[in-house]
Amino acid sequence: MADLSNLAGLGSEPSGQIDSSVSSASNRSLRLAEKEKRKGEADPFGLAVKYLSQVEAGTVVRGNDELERNMVRVETVALSKGLPPEVITVLLDLALSLNAGTANCTRVLKFLIPATVVPQEAIVKGVSWLCVGKMPMNAQVLFVRWVLTVFDLIDCKDDLRSIYGFIFSFVTEENLCPFICHLLYLLTMREHGELMTKWFNFFGRQPFLTQLLALYKVFRPDLVTLSLPSRVRTGFKNHNSTWKVALSAVQRKNKGAVLVDQSLSLDVKEKPSSRKRKLHHLAIPPLTSAFDSNSSKKVLRLQELRSFKELLENIHNIELPAQMGSLLGSALALHYLDCVQDESAFLRLNFWLGHSLQEEFLLCPVDGSSDNTSEACRFLSTILFSQQFLQEGFSSTESFLYKFLSVWDGCLLRPQILDLLSDIPLMPSFYMHKLLFEPLKQLYFTSTVFFKCSVIECLNSMLVKWLTWHSVSASEGGLDISLNSNSSMTMTLSGFMDSVMELVRFVGLLASEGLRLESCHVLLLNQTLAFYETVCDMFLKFSLPLIIMPPAGVFYPALFATDSVSVDRLGYIMYRYRKNLTLAKKQEQQREQTFHISRNTYKEFNRNLQAMVNSMWNSWWCVPGSDIEIDKDLIALSKVAEPWCRFDLIHHPALFSYAIEFHQRTGKYWNWYMEFLFNQGFYGLNNFIQTNTGHGSTLNSQEDGQPKSQP
């Protein structure tokens, strides 16, 4: 029995060990399960993504609480923090495969907000789902709109360009065509130049097709034989309204992670009741390459350049950036744009710029707060810097200004808007009245004197740039003047003269009425005279055979001004007019020029010259038959002694203080007074008097060796 008991004891020992090991394994499993449970509770988003990645075709959607719960969980994170790249891939595949149903497809696409970048392979796979043809049309349109919205966040675009033909095949879909054309416009490169012409004839001259065809014509003009308007209006509309609010919120929270296209970078006001979208974030995108760093193409990124020498050495290996707006923030990029003169680059840049200005300033007007205004000011200043660097304006900026002038209040961003306005290129005269003169006239006559001064200064700057452009064309021997270096439009010399004449006459009208309304304000008068300092020298300085005299509403306020600077400037202007007219007359007599100065111009000059000489030198400003003839009885009522000499070089209100000072210091000799007066810095008056009377600042014509007394 003892042996048996021993045997029993031997047999029972292993059984206890087995029970212990089983219990230990069970406890380990429970601990792991508990750990996973706690992990799941700590990371519900990860579990939700995992669940959604395992949803298969045929899954019941209606009444599926688990699917709904996980969908809400992912949607909440997406709208608050954005989604990482790998989750974008999972959710895009879930949506486009329709495994979770058509309704959830649209739902997922609407909250597909990237936190950083969008993986290229996700977009490529999405295009493959388009090719399957399972999705309803509204889902297909929404997908392509989403791609356009996040286009600048796609990490690389090489593979997308490799399936260009597949994307192009959807041009035949009428509902998809506008969005596909926009996507193709962003993807098109030189090798994609043989696909478009037949579809243009099929659909007709739709704006989006015309825009794309204009880009193709740049790359392959031999294939695109259709005539296109020289200025193609923007044919692509904004498609980012569905995602704009969420993208803005995510961008604010993930500062510095990635910069979205400026047109998407809009903050949203706290007040949802406001129907106007307010501009809060305007930033030039950073330079980013459109190619993968591992790409086999031998290209150099613009952001890798450090000097102008490197730019010249690699000028043929440089690829344009993914976001054309980034060119505006880099001097080297602008050098490259100016050197290569790539028309496709200007097309893309003008499209981006035109869309941004339209979206941010016309559709979403700045609300006037200091943050918004300063941000918009920096953005417009960057555009101004780029235009001044390239020495010409962008066509998209020009189109924007014509629209903006009709809604502008004259106060918002005034310096930047007027500086941009001065960069407007030459235009035919029949466009000027409607696009430029009418809106400016309404603002001018209803604004302060300081705004009036700013407008005159702006138009003076515009005239100088037009004349400079003409002088360059004239020096190159061209009879036709190119309106822009990136435009095929030209203008004949007579057409150019008509445009300049309209501009000068318009400023003359503004100045005359403005001086009358503002009681000949000294600042406005001096800005006006600065403009006519440009006008009086158009023939000599800019080789333009056109001389236009200032109207009476400008000439006489300057002649009878109470400040000496205005009178001196008028003297200089009349002196330069005489120089220009003398040379023009000489060339006409020698038959050296085709265009002739009008006889009326000579008559106007002689009339103004006579009035000025009579007033300041001959002491007889009120000559019978002149423009300023005043009835003698009316003059007598003023009870002014010797009224006829009140505007000579001694008694003129602008010079009388100098005459008193001279009399107190020296005496009464006329030549000494002339010397004293012109040594005060009145070089304009000195030249005018010396040219028209033979007297100047030096003591001449002394027959008896003594200074002459006043005549």
Q: Which pLDDT tens digit goes with each residue over 702-711?
A: 333 333 434 3
Six token digits for residue 588: 């006409």
Cα dist. 287→182, 284, 301, 397 in Å? 21, 9, 8, 21
3 state SS for 388-424: HHHCCCCHHHHHHHHHHHCCCCCCCCHHHHHHHHHCC
Nearest to 619 by CA among 574, 588, 649: 649
Report whether 573 contacts 533 (CB < 8 A).
yes
Beta bridge partners of 481: 491
What is the structure's pLDDT at 365? 58
What is the structure's pLDDT at 514? 95
Nearest to 621 by CA among 654, 648, 640, 641: 648
| Burial group, residue 711, by CB count within 10 angstroms (0-12, 13-18, 19+) | exposed
Q: How far apart are the first and last CA of the chain?
A: 164
Q: CB 227: neighbour CB atoms within 10 A?
A: 7
Report whether 685 contacts 567 (CB < 8 A).
yes
Residue with tokens 């029949």: 430
Report whether 491 contacts 499 (CB < 8 A).
yes
How many Cα neighbours within 13 Å face the side chain of 422?
Answer: 20
- Tell me the per-residue pLDDT of 474-488, one tens digit each, with 9 for 90 and over: 665 554 555 555 554
Report whether 75 contacts 111 (CB < 8 A).
yes
Higher pLDDT, 14 or 165: 165
Q: Which phi and psi angles does 289 have, rounded to 5°?
A: -75, 150
Six token digits for residue 610: 């006579």
Six token digits for residue 476: 């190159």
Q: Which phi and psi angles does 365 have, rounded to 5°?
A: -60, 145
Q: Let me know the angle formed at the C-alpha of 639 by 634 and 645, rounded to the nearest 5 degrees.
A: 85
- Tell me the per-residue pLDDT of 50-103, one tens digit each, with 9 for 90 and over: 888 888 887 887 888 888 888 889 888 888 888 999 999 999 988 888 888 888
Please report, rounded to a whole number, the percentage of residues in the chain having pLDDT higher than 90. 21
Q: Which phi and psi angles does 321 have, rounded to 5°?
A: -70, 170
Does the predicted model carry a pTM greater than 0.75?
no
